[in-house]
Amino acid sequence: MLQLTCPWCGPRDETEFRHGGQAHVARPADPAALDDEAWAAYLFFRDNPAGPFAERWVHSLGCRRWFHAVRDTVTYAVLATYRPDQPRPDVAAAPRPDGETR
């Protein structure tokens, strides 16, 4: 089971959390000026990297606060968690089972 560390409550099992998608997605400055293609890009298109990826999570069965996590999408290892008001930490990819890193 995946373990996440809530910045306020500490380490917990993933069953206490809900995933909220990609973190650090910039909201449109002038939403009224966007055409349909720009709205579709903002609403539906997200990065899908193999390796470290910043995600939003909410501690739904705990403090109910949102936070960010950097998770390696290849190994599923959680590399860091941090509050939304903090900058994304610089983390290296977790080692893969074959000993390689990305």
Q: Is a pLDDT exceeding 90 seen at residue 102? A: no
- Supply the pLDDT for residue 97: 61
- Supply the pLDDT for residue 94: 64
- Supply the pLDDT for residue 96: 61
pTM: 0.83
| Nearest-5° Cα angle at 9, 19 to 80 | 55
- Supply the pLDDT for residue 2: 87
Other CB atoms within 10 A of residue 67 CB? 25
Under the banding of pLDDT at 50, 70 and 90, the label for residue 93 is low
**Closest Cα to residue 92, out of 101, 100, 83, 82?**
101
Under the banding of pLDDT at 50, 70 and 90, the label for residue 1 is confident
